[in-house]
Amino acid sequence: MKHLIDLDDFSIQELDQIVHKAVEIEAHPEAYYGKLSGKILGTLFYEPSTRTQMSFQTAMLKLGGQIIGFDNPQTSSVSKGENLKDTVKVISNYADVIAIRHPSEGAAKAASLVAECPIINAGDGGHLHPTQTLTDLVTLMHEKGHLDHLTIGLCGDLKFGRTVHSLIKAMIHYPGNKFILISTKELTIPDYMKKIILNSNCEYEEISTLEEALPKLDVLYMTRIQRERFESKEEYLKQKDVYRLDTQKMRLAPEDLCILHPLPRVDEIEIAVDDDPRAVYFKQANHGVYARMSLILHILEQNTQTSIKGEIYPEKICSNSRCITQSETYLKRYFYRDKDGVMCCSYCDAHE
């Protein structure tokens, strides 16, 4: 049984295959309808995310499959104090594949340890959101025709933005990509992400304004500055308008620019920009359905086993207060050493 917790669970060949298959499905969807007839997708959404949930549901229905699930832990057994393990154990018997979204980091990994069916991580707190990145890759393949030699601007919350980090980690596998990091000083990308780029065959440049960056870009990846990531409302209000894309700034952009956004947008992109053909973020959401169709088909065909990295250290406690091991205390405490020899939690990847 194969799970998708992190995009790293796939080899670069596998990832390529999934991306190309997605493009093919989008070209000939009728050829795939009925492929999963009689199969059930369980969507366990421990926090609301309509778009992601409906994207998964649409993907499954377009393959001829069916759906069960919940989107509100208040109306589920969770409200009776049930732990993650028991819910996953039961529903993974009902369903053939599960997409799980959870506010705790490492929750999808924890689910995969006990599941009787493949688990797809549909977002675990601020940690990972691999199907968004898969969506981004499929969108780039569709719009650009290739994933290498692209100059990609990343704008907004580069400090906490998991979609940004995840996209970088995927794109460094393709030669000649360059990342233009556009953010305020407070929301700059973490050092370990810079190290990851430097260790690859790619490069990066930090630019503090959209105006300066735009002329150089093939792709602009905009992100929402999430209110919940800020310490105070004042801080949020101060930052949110700084990196707003509007029709005036768009005049500086090349004609073949692709603007991506994981959505939901709040006001980091002016609504008038939507009418610009370079705005592909709504198309991107649609590509996400085909990305997930391709992923589900791939996952259900695999016989290989996804295992957990590292070893059990019964005495160690993860230092990340948002880690799933904090609330689900029965979880065995796995830790692994990263390239620099630092101990990391096998669930949430937090460094010691």
Residue numbers belonging to the annotated binding site for carbamoyl phosphate: 51-52, 101, 129, 132, 263-264
- Residue 109's H or E segment, with its range, is helix 107-114
Q: Which stretch binds a copy of itself (CB under 8 A): 120-128, 183-191, 209-217, 277-285?
A: 277-285
CA-CA-CA-CA dihedral for 34, 40, 43, 49, to nearest 10: 20
Complex with a copy of itself: residue 13 or 74, whichever CB lies closer: 74
Q: Which stretch binds a copy of itself (CB under 8 A): 63-71, 140-148, 204-212, 316-324?
A: 63-71
**Residue in 156, 179, 130 with CA at minimum distance from that of residue 230:** 156
* Residue 51 interacts with a copy of itself (CB under 8 A): yes or no: yes
Complex with a copy of itself: residue 24 or 328, whichever CB lies closer: 328
Instruction: Examine the residue annotation and report whether 251 is marked as an active-site residue of this protein.
Output: no
Instruction: Examine the residue annotation and report whether 129 is marked as an active-site residue of this protein.
Output: yes
Tokens 């300066």: give the residue: 212
Minimum distance from residue 27 beta carbon to a copy of itself (Å): 16
Judging by DSSP bridges, how do beta strands 178-182 and 151-155 pair with one another? parallel
Size of the site for a copy of itself (CB under 8 A): 53
* Residue 271 interacts with a copy of itself (CB under 8 A): yes or no: yes
Q: Are 21 and 294 in contact (CB under 8 A)?
A: yes
Tokens 């999808």: give the residue: 108
* Residue 192 interacts with a copy of itself (CB under 8 A): yes or no: no
CA distances 328 to 82, 84, 149, 240, 333, Å, are 10, 7, 43, 35, 11
Supply the DSSP string of 68-93, one letter for each residue.
Answer: EEES-GGGSGGGGT--HHHHHHHHHH
Q: How many residues does the chain have?
A: 352
Complex with a copy of itself: residue 49 or 104, whichever CB lies closer: 49
* Residue 303 interacts with a copy of itself (CB under 8 A): yes or no: no
Binding track, positions 11-50, relative to a copy of itself; x by CB under 8 A: -------------------x--x----x-x-x-----xxx
Footprint (CB under 8 A) of a copy of itself, residues 312-341 = 330
Report phi then psi at 42, rounded to 5: -100, 125
CA distance 173 to 167: 11
Which runs of consecutive H residues, i.e. helices, occur in 191-338? 191-198, 210-213, 233-240, 247-250, 281-301, 324-327
Cα 112 to chain center, whole Å?
17
Instruction: Examine the residue annotation and report whether 101 is marked as an active-site residue of this protein.
Output: yes
* Residue 54 interacts with a copy of itself (CB under 8 A): yes or no: yes
Cα 302 to chain center, whole Å?
21
Complex with a copy of itself: residue 99 or 189, whichever CB lies closer: 99
Complex with a copy of itself: residue 278 or 283, whichever CB lies closer: 283
- Residue 162's H or E segment, with its range, is helix 162-171
Tokens 């997708």: give the residue: 41
* Residue 79 interacts with a copy of itself (CB under 8 A): yes or no: yes
**Residue in 205, 123, 125, 133 with CA at minimum distance from that of residue 166:** 133
Please identify which of the residues 51, 159, 216, 278 carries the catalytic annotation: 51
Instruction: Examine the residue annotation and report whether 223 is marked as an active-site residue of this protein.
Output: no
Complex with a copy of itself: residue 75 or 303, whichever CB lies closer: 75
* Residue 95 interacts with a copy of itself (CB under 8 A): yes or no: yes
Instruction: Examine the residue annotation and report whether 28 is marked as an active-site residue of this protein.
Output: no
Q: Which residues are annotated as a binding site for L-aspartate?
A: 80, 162, 224
Residues forming the site for a copy of itself (CB under 8 A): 30, 33, 38, 40, 42, 48-51, 54-55, 57-58, 61-62, 64, 66, 68-72, 74-83, 85-87, 89-91, 93-95, 263-266, 271, 274, 282-283, 285-286, 289, 330
Instruction: Provide the annotated active-site residues.
Output: 51-52, 80, 101, 129
